[in-house]
Structures are given as structure tokens and as C-alpha cells.
Amino acid sequence: MTTSVHRRPALDARNLLNKVPEVTLYFWIIKILCTTVGETAADYLNGTLGLGLTNTSYLMTGLLVVALAVQFAVRRYVPTVYWVAVVLISVVGTLITDNLTDNLGVPLPESTAVFAVLLAGTFAAWFAVERTLSIHTIFTRRREGFYWLTILFTFALGTAAGDLVAEQLSLGYGVAGVIFGAAIAAVTVAWWKLGLNPIVAFWISYVLTRPLGASLGDLTSQPQSHGGLGLGTTDTSVLFLTGILVLVGYLSVTRRDVAEVRERA
């Protein structure tokens, strides 16, 4: 799901080097790990540490604001900065859905529909202003703002959709994981063999990796009596965070996912 490389644009006060990684296998692996951590870390802070949903939401939102401030401040893609922001926005996206469900009593079908509309509206506004939704051209502040708002809504939507399929429809975490994994595989085949637009394929897959990762996280952490493997939120969070740290460290050294600057679209 890539596009051709064009000439380097002139940089000015508003133009930056591309601020997001190249879409490689590493990208998708880390993304799924981040979505899993978003699910288990929120449960760990809320339940195991006893912070409660409200306090956890305040804490993680504050950390996310700091992480995004750093991300906006750097002028190029920095793996550690970028992926810390993704981990935190994954947690916050999960908490937004959890607050709507647990504190406000919003049914999962309704929250899923609301976040789908918000995501579609963000895409529409982004395209109307910039005439592109490509992540290969995130080198202005405005595009970066649209990008991170989109990411937030994909995590919130994915959380709601994943919980709807796995819990409310009582399909279980394993079955939900298979469903979302199959959907991602179908999108990949449609892009690879049937000519599906790579930008469309990317964003559909990005949304679907959230419920896939959440299903994997719940499958690993939840007790066996609830259909899980019983590893617990602490061990699951540590396991997947370790995977993220190893891969991000590798990419920081090798720079294998550094995207070249594309022409302004």
C-alpha cells in the first residue's frame, strides 16, 4: 500500500520532513502490538492499580497531550516519539469508548455508529482541505493535525466495534480476532490483486487492526472462565510493550522505516 516517490519539496516554516513511518511489515506489527497494549494497559490502570476509569482517563489524556506536543515539535519522523504517541492515543481511544459505555451508558452499537460518522467526517474535512488522505505527505502542521485526529477516532471506533463483536454479540475474543483478521486479509488481497486504491486499503486496514489487537489482548489477558488464556493485564501489557520496545529500538538504529519526502499533493 505505497505510492511513488516524487521530488523533494522546498521546506519553509510550515513544511516539515514526513512525520510518519513508511508502511512496512514492521509498521503493521508494531501497530497491532500498540492496539493490544491500549486495551490491556487501560484495564491494568483502571482495575489492577485501582485508579478508576475517570482518574485513568485524566492521567493518560495528560500524557497524550505531552507526547503529541513533542511529536508536533520535531521536524521529522522519530521512531520513539512517534510510537509513544501511538501507544498513548491507543489507550486514550480505548478509554473514550469505555467512558461512553461504563460511565454514560451509551450502547455499543450507538457508540460504534457515532465514531464511524466522526471518522468519516474527519476524512471528508481532511480531503476537502488538502485534496489527499495519503500518509506519505504528512509534512505540514495542518496535515499532521488531521492525521492524529483520524488516528484517535480509529482507535475509539475499533474499540467499540471490537467490544460489540466479541462481547455484546457473544462471539468471543478468538472468533472476533479471526473475523477481523480475515477482513484485513480480504482488504490486502483486494489491494494486491484487484486494484483497490492503496490509500483506501491502508485506512480500512488501520481501523480493523484496532479490534484485532484488542481481541488478541483480551484473549491473552482475560481469565479462562471468560474465554481468555488467563495471562492477566500486567503480564500481557509487559509482554507486548517489550515487543514494541525491541522493534522500535531496531528501527531507530536501522532507520528501515524512514519515509522519503513526497511532493505536496
Domain boundary assignment for the chain: 38-254
Q: Are 175 and 162 in contact (CB under 8 A)?
A: no
Work out the burial of residue 90: count CB atoms within 10 Å of its CB; fewer than 13 is exposed, 13-18 middle, 19 or more buried: buried
List, for residues 22-78, the tens digit of each pLDDT value: 999 999 999 999 888 877 888 788 877 888 889 999 999 999 999 999 999 998 899
Amino acid in the structure at residue 259: A
- At 260, the pLDDT band (50, 70, 90 cuts) reads low
For the whole model, what pTM was predicted? 0.86
Q: What is the dihedral of CA 211, 93, 242, 255, to 10 degrees?
A: 100
Residue type, position 122, single letter: T
User: Higher model confidence: residue 220 or residue 81?
Assistant: 81
pLDDT above 70 covers what percent of the chain? 90
